[in-house]
């Protein structure tokens, strides 16, 4: 039987984790998370052993091993010492094991590097915060003239508050005895590798279609001021059916997005189009690919500057178009989380102990028109009209 490549195994593990997270079965999520984290751990250990034998610095770059700050090194060394304790629960209970803010910064940067959607939204580390004030209306919050009631009316509803402690992400990390011997830098590579992939999967799903009930509010949700929220769940927007990506069709969509809060027009320089990978290749690519006179093809040709992003979190037959910076997402350790804790609730492998860490955050579109939900089931391939203005004389005609 042929051995599966590491890339295929990783894809299968991530698919299992995605399925488990959708099932909302705590046991299934913990097991899928642990299996995925264990695969990351095994890869780190293999690369650590290879580095010991060869001292090849390219292995460090490949694995993403960082030079740690003094605070980060102390943090990991204290965690390692606690993990080696015979009374591990007691060792952790008296230890400040909250992630330093710089580690969360590094996790966020890792996520942005590998996930295009998370790289373009307004994504920040909110470790030290519990609430954040945002400009919901997208208007300037200053005005020339005499201070008076007109200014108060102008700013009414422009300031919004996002509670960053409402949504919790839990990550399970198995750590074997062998892992404790590799040192803080390699433990850091493992922790970041586990957190970045698992958090990215959960975040992308919530950013696309989160209900707002103990999770962020997705781009496809109605966040208008008069929306009816039932049981904490924001309703999904009604999808706009489009059959082509012609300038007229595209312009009508952009006009809706250009209508900012309080019916104020706003300039748009570019947008994103987020679509399921299958739909991208079956529908969007044929609709945005044209053939030049020399026979070559040019793809992603839109009537307006557009960044197409593939995401498996988007429902088949649907797409989202909008202004990426108008989606805010904050994540961090917060004042209530970020600690690594020993967990004996889930233990799937005999020579490993399983640890749990919780990160807090929240996210939402900053206004209802920032993103539109599209129905692209009937999207047609691009057609190019060529007008012949003359004839080319052949050698015989000359």
Q: How far apart are CA 201 and CA 219, in angstroms?
A: 16
Are 49 and 162 members of one domain?
yes
Residue 103 has pLDDT above 80, yes or no: yes
Question: Residue 223: inside a domain, yes or no?
Answer: no
- 32 plus 130 within the same structural domain: yes
Q: Examine residue 1 and state whether it is found in any structural domain, yes or no.
A: no
**Same-domain check for residues 333 and 302:** no
Indicate whether 339 and 321 sit together in one domain: no
- Token couple for 44: 């780190």
CA atoms of 208 and 294, how far apart (whole Å):
39
Q: Within this chain, do residues 170 and 22 fall inside the same structural domain, yes or no?
A: yes
Considering the domain architecture, whether residues 115 and 20 belong to the same structural domain is answered as: yes
Residue pair 319/208 in contact (Cβ under 8 Å)? The answer is no
Q: Which of 102, 156, 94 is nearest to 125 (CA)?
A: 102
The verdict on residue 397 lying in a domain is: no
CA 199 to CA 229: how far, in whole Å?
26
389 belongs to a structural domain = no
pLDDT band at 276 (very low <50, low <70, confident <90, very high): very high
CA distance 165 to 167: 6
Number of structural domains in the chain: 2
Among 49-53, 65-69, 115-119, 157-161, name the most confident range. 115-119
User: Is residue 17 in some structural domain?
Assistant: yes
> What is the reported pLDDT for 140?
42
**Residue 17 scores a pLDDT above 90:** no
- Higher model confidence: residue 302 or residue 83? 302
Q: What is the pLDDT of residue 150?
A: 47
d(CA 280, CA 159) in angstroms, rounded, equals 37
Q: Are residues 132 and 271 in the same domain?
A: no
- 134 lies in the same domain as 24: yes
In this predicted structure, the answer to whether residue 375 has a pLDDT above a threshold of 90 is yes
Residues 21 and 70 in one domain: yes
Q: Are residues 186 and 120 in the same domain?
A: yes
Residues comprising the chain, all counted: 398
pLDDT band at 395 (very low <50, low <70, confident <90, very high): very low
Asked if 300 and 288 count as a contact pair (C-beta separation under 8 A), the reply is yes
For residue 102, give its domain range: 6-141+157-218+327-368
- Enter the pTM of the model: 0.77
Mean of the pLDDT values across residues 359-387?
A: 83
In a domain, 83, yes or no: yes
Q: Are the C-beta atoms of 333 and 75 separated by less than 8 Å?
A: no
* Host H or E run for residue 176: strand 167-176
pLDDT of residue 107: 85
Q: What pLDDT, on a 0 to 100 scale, did the predictor assign at position 348?
A: 45
Domain shared by 271 and 214, yes or no: no
**Domain presence at residue 193:** yes
Whether residue 349 sits in one domain with residue 301:
no
Q: Answer yes or no: is pLDDT of 9 > 90.
A: no
User: Is 319 part of a structural domain of the chain?
Assistant: yes
d(CA 251, CA 272): 14
Distance of alpha carbon 34 from alpha carbon 349, whole angstroms:
9
């Amino acid at each position: 039987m042929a051995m599966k490549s590491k890339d295929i195994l990783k894809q299968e593990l991530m698919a299992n984790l995605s399925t488990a997270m959708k099932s909302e079965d705590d046991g299934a999520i913990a097991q899928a998370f642990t299996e995925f984290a264990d695969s990351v751990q095994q890869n780190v250990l293999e690369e650590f052993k290879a580095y010991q034998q060869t001292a090849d610095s390219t292995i460090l770059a490949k694995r993403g091993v960082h030079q740690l700050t003094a605070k980060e090194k102390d943090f990991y060394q204290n965690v390692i010492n606690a993990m080696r304790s015979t009374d591990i629960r007691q060792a952790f209970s008296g230890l400040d094991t909250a992630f330093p803010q710089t580690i969360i910064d590094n996790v966020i940067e890792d996520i942005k590097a590998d996930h295009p959607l998370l790289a373009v939204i307004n994504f920040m580390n909110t470790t030290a915060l519990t609430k954040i004030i945002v400009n919901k209306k997208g208007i300037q919050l200053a005005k020339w003239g005499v201070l008076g009631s007109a200014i108060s009316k102008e700013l009414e509803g422009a300031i919004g508050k996002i509670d960053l402690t409402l949504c919790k992400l839990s990550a399970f990390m198995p750590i074997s005895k062998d892992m404790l011997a590799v040192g803080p830098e390699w433990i850091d590579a493992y922790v970041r590798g586990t957190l970045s992939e698992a958090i990215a999967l959960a975040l992308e799903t919530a950013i696309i279609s989160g209900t707002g009930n103990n999770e962020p509010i997705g781009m496809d949700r109605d966040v208008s001021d008069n929306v009816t929220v039932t049981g904490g769940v924001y309703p999904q927007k009604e999808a706009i059916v489009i059959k082509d990506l012609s300038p007229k069709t595209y312009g009508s969509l952009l006009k809706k997005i250009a209508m900012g809060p309080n019916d104020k027009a706003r300039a748009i320089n570019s947008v994103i189009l987020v679509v399921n990978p299958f739909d991208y290749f079956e529908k969007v690519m044929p609709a945005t690919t044209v053939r030049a006179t020399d026979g070559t093809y040019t793809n992603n040709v839109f009537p307006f500057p557009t960044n197409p992003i593939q995401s498996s979190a988007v429902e088949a037959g649907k797409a989202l178009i909008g202004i990426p910076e108008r989606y805010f997402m904050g994540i961090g350790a917060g004042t209530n989380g970020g600690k690594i804790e020993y967990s004996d609730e889930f233990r799937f492998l005999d020579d490993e102990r399983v640890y749990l860490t919780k990160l807090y955050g929240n996210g939402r579109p900053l206004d209802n028109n920032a993103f539109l939900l599209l129905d692209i089931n009937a999207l047609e391939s691009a057609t190019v009209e060529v007008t012949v203005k003359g004839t080319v004389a052949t050698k015989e005609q000359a």
